[in-house]
Structure formats: C-alpha cells, structure tokens
Amino acid sequence: MGMNSIDGTVLVTGGAGYIGSHTVRSLREAGREVVVLDSLELGRREAVIDAPLVVGDIHDRDLVTSTCHEHNVTQMIHFAAYKAVGESMEVPAKYWRNNVAGSVDLVEACLASGVHDIVFSSSCSVNGTPAVVPVTEDAPIHPESVYAESKAMVERILYWYGQTSGLRSVSLRYFNAAGASFDGRIGEDWTHSQNLVPLAMKALLLRDRRLKVFGDDYETPDGTCIRDYIHVADLADAHVKALDYLGRGGRTVALNVGTGVGSSVLDVLKATAEVAGESVPYEIAPRRAGDPVATFADPGLAETLLGWRAAHGLREIVQTAYAWHRSEVRRHRAG
Ligand code: WQD
C-alpha cells in the first residue's frame, strides 16, 4: 500500500505570513509535519512557531526540490504572493512575475518532487463585484484588479496542470480574513495593511487618527458596504480539511471560504466599541473606487466537500484582533 499523501510533510509557502502562520499552527495541532518556505520579504520569522523555516523564493526550483526531498513533502499549500490591490494596478509586472510565474516555477518543482496535492490561496476578488449575493462558485469570474486577475490566472493554470500532469488542487477563495489567534501568540501585522479591522484597531489604540469610512450612502441598511468577515482560525481549518480531501482522492475544485454572513462597516465598528468599551474615532469619507456594495459567500460547497464550516463570528474576530493589537502596542512601547 503506497504511503497516503496525508502521511507526509506539508510544504507551506508564505507560512511566515498572516493566514499562512495560522494555518501552520492548525496543521501542527492536527498532527501534520510541516516545513515553511518564505522569503521573509513580507513574512515575519517569529510568526513561524513550531515548524522549520527555509528562507528562500518560490522561483528557486533547486531549493524547492531539495526542501521537498529533505522533508519528505507529499502535499503543499501555496500562500506566497503579493496581495495589495492598489499596488497591483501601479506595478503589475511584480504581480505577473511573482504571483503567476512564481506559481508556475513552484508547481514544476513540486511535480518534479512527486508532490501532486496542492491547496492554493485564492480570493473572492476573482469574482469582482458580484451581481448576486450570496456568491456561489459558479459566479462569473470577473477580476477588477491585477491582483485579482493573478489569482484567477493561477486557478486556471492549476486546472490545466490537472489536465496535463495529474495535479489535483483546491483553490480556496477567501472572503475577508480578520482576527488573531485565540491564545494571542500570532495575529495580523498592521504596518502596511489597508484592511478595515486592523485600521479600526489602529485608530482606537493609537488615538492619533480617525478611521475613514469610505462612504455611507450605499444601498445598504446603514449605508456602508457589506463584507463576509471570516476568522483567520476558520480559514486555517479549511486548509487542513482541503489537504485531507485531496488525500482522500478529491477532485480539483475552487471553493468559497466565508461565513455566509454579511456585516457592514458600521457593524464592525459597533462590535469593536462593544469589545473595547470605547468607540472607534471615525469620519465619513468619499467612496473608495472599486468597492463592491455588498459581497458575502454561500459556503455550502466547502461544507459538502470538506466537512468544513466557519465556527466563529464577528464578535470573536474583533475580540481577538483587539487583544492582539493591544498587546502589540504594549510590546512596542515596552521597547
Ligand atoms: C472592507 C470594507 C471598505 C478600510 C480585501 C482585498 C481583497 C481580499 C479581501 C485578499 C470595505 C471599508 C476599509 C478603511 C473603510 N483580500 N474600509 N475604511 O476591499 O473588502 O477586500 O480583502 O484576497 O482582495 O481587497 O477589504 O478591509 O479593504 O475593506 O471604510 O480604512 O471596509 O470600503 O467596504 P476588501 P477592506
């Protein structure tokens, strides 16, 4: 009986990043052996807690194949990518080279090392502004940025590797990842983030700025945009279950990973105020170009195929994010 792919080690590219580091911890808690490949360009070494870290680039075919052989890698999760939507429209070549061509180099090295199960970090942004909510997996692919296009392209490249070389993959289309680990050990780095939850925590904890709410005149109950905020621990769990699904022989598929619940910007600020016991200082600002008025997932297919569903809601997201960022502020003040 050949070794089942879930008996081997998981190579996690980008495992020193936000969702990657939470997924590494979930894999270890599930008893999986892990090795992380990260360039540390954006990731943080201290976020890799209980797995070996190989510092390098996904383009480096020799490094990937030697890592796979030395660590008995049988499955891979590919997080490593640039993800700044605005930047992707200013310097697209960075995104074509790293997100797309880098994934091709990585897949080639994996196949050369006998790795045929890949979970890919995709995004709900491949659908752009959804015409219908909740969003299902057969919604039109309509990227509205170079970043989103790079995710849609890699999904198609993985599909074709399935046709030409027997690669099987699960592309997980994340909705809005947020929150921090329940034990407070890892969380999001707010340094460069443009996302709502970290920026709301910054306005609340640093008290040196007001959060800009990008528009309160949308066709929604309170006028602000609606999103599907999903706890990073739930996202991590979806990756563990996707590898098990591939280990069982599951076919190539793209899956929405969201809670199925839509929350507005003001819902997030209200939940934050309840948790922190004080309000987030904010001001209403002009709408942000490219913002869909509402998007949230239909997570039914992931539940059916993976036996996965989100266990946490908006309150745990803001509770863990607040605790994490408050501890980070104290840590940096302590010097
Ligand atoms: C959320 C809501 C803003 C900041 C992003 C990426 C997307 C995907 C998911 C990776 C919106 C509002 C935000 C602020 C605000 N990531 N907002 N003031 O744009 O929904 O999606 O994460 O795959 O690619 O773009 O997330 O956190 O930027 O915005 O009012 O200072 O919060 O208008 O309605 P977004 P976000």
Distance (angstroms) between ligand 1 centre and the Cα of 293 equals 11
Query: Which 3 state secondary structure label does DSSP give 118?
Result: strand
Domain 5-178+229-257 CATH assignment equals 3.40.50.720:
yes
Q: Note the pLDDT of residue 290.
A: 87
Out of 3.90.1150.10, 3.20.20.80, 3.90.25.10, 3.40.50.300, which CATH number does the structure's domain 196-227+260-296+312-334 have? 3.90.25.10
Q: Are strands 53-55 and 34-38 parallel, antiparallel or unpaired?
A: parallel
CA nearest ligand 1 atom 36, residue:
195
pLDDT per residue over 228-242, tens digit each?
999 999 999 999 999
Query: Which 3 state secondary structure label does DSSP give 253?
Result: strand
Whose structure tokens read 């599907």?
228
Percentage of the chain lying above the pLDDT 90 cut: 96
Single pTM value for the model: 0.97
The answer to whether residue 3 scores a pLDDT higher than 70 is: no
Distance (angstroms) between ligand 1 centre and the Cα of 150 equals 18
Q: How far apart are the first and last CA of the chain?
A: 55
String of DSSP letters for 223-245 = SS-EE-EEEHHHHHHHHHHHHHH
Dig out the tokens for 153 from the structure. Answer: 């392209």
pLDDT per residue over 64-94, tens digit each?
999 999 999 999 999 999 999 999 999 999 9
Distance CA 258, CA 13 (A): 22
Distance CA 194, CA 139 (A): 26
Distance CA 45, CA 309 (A): 30
What is the CB < 6 Å shell around ligand 1? 83, 85, 123, 125, 174, 176, 194-196, 199, 211-214, 225, 227, 265, 288, 291
Ligand 1 mutation pick, 120, 212, 265, max ligand atoms within 8 A of CB: 265
Per-domain residue ranges of the chain = 5-178+229-257, 196-227+260-296+312-334
Distance (angstroms) between ligand 1 centre and the Cα of 196 equals 6
pLDDT per residue over 124-173, tens digit each?
999 999 999 999 999 999 999 999 999 999 999 999 999 999 999 999 99
Active site residues: 147
What is the average pLDDT score of the chain?
A: 97
Distance (angstroms) between ligand 1 centre and the Cα of 226 equals 10
pLDDT per residue over 268-286, tens digit each?
999 999 999 999 999 999 9
Question: What confidence category does residue 1 fall into, taking pLDDT thresholds of 50, 70 and 90?
Answer: very low
Instruction: List CB contacts of 295: < 8 A, sequence separation 6 or more.
Output: 124, 127, 129, 130, 133, 135, 175, 226, 227, 228, 262
CA nearest ligand 1 atom 28, residue:
195
